[in-house]
């Protein structure tokens, strides 16, 4: 739905509320009518339709960033292992048994490279 359409709908809804609101004040009623409630629900629905797709995109981006961060942590731990063990390059199993990473990090590292086949792994299992 285009922004122009949404703006048009919202302006019509607001004008209906103003017209209908004047009639209510003239009658000195202080209750919401069914039409007013439907207009409010329509506005809320339009706003939800605008924001939900953006939230889904942002969630996917946050997930990718988190996966990349786990890869950096595992690779940093591998560099620390090399410094402690005379430049001996570790594999994931050695890092895991040394307690430098967790099984969850190993799984996330493997999953990241399974999803990103074009990227070069720094070390294997």
Digit-coded pLDDT (tens) for 68-81: 899 999 999 999 99
* Exposure string for 69-107, b = 16+ CB within 10 A, e = fewer: ebbebbeebbeebeeeeeeeebebebbbeeebbeeebbe
Decide if 28 is inside a domain: yes
Q: Rounded mean pLDDT of 104-115?
A: 89
| Whether residue 22 has pLDDT greater than 70 | no
- Range scoring the smallest mean pLDDT among 20-29, 57-66, 98-107, 112-121: 20-29
Cβ atoms of 68 and 112 closer than 8 Å = yes
| Whether residue 59 has pLDDT greater than 80 | yes
Decide if 77 is inside a domain: yes
Decide if 121 is inside a domain: no
Q: What is the pTM of this model?
A: 0.55
Q: How far is CA 1 from CA 5, 22, 31, 53, 99, in A?
A: 7, 31, 32, 12, 53
Decide if 67 is inside a domain: yes
Q: How many domains does the chain have?
A: 1
| Whether residue 52 has pLDDT greater than 80 | yes
Decide if 21 is inside a domain: yes
Decide if 123 is inside a domain: no
Domain that holds residue 9: 3-115
């Amino acid at each position: 739905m285009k922004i122009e359409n949404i703006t048009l709908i919202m302006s019509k809804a607001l004008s209906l509320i103003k017209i209908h609101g004047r009639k209510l004040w003239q009658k000195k009623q202080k209750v919401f009518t069914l039409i007013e409630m439907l207009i409010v629900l329509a506005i809320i629905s339009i706003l939800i339709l605008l924001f939900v797709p953006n939230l889904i995109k942002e969630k996917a981006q946050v997930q990718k960033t988190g996966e990349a961060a786990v890869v950096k942590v595992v690779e940093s731990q591998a560099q620390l292992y090399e410094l402690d063990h005379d430049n001996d390059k570790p594999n994931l199993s050695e890092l895991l048994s040394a307690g430098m990473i967790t099984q969850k990090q190993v799984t996330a590292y493997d999953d990241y490279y399974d999803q990103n086949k074009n990227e070069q792994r720094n070390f294997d299992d």
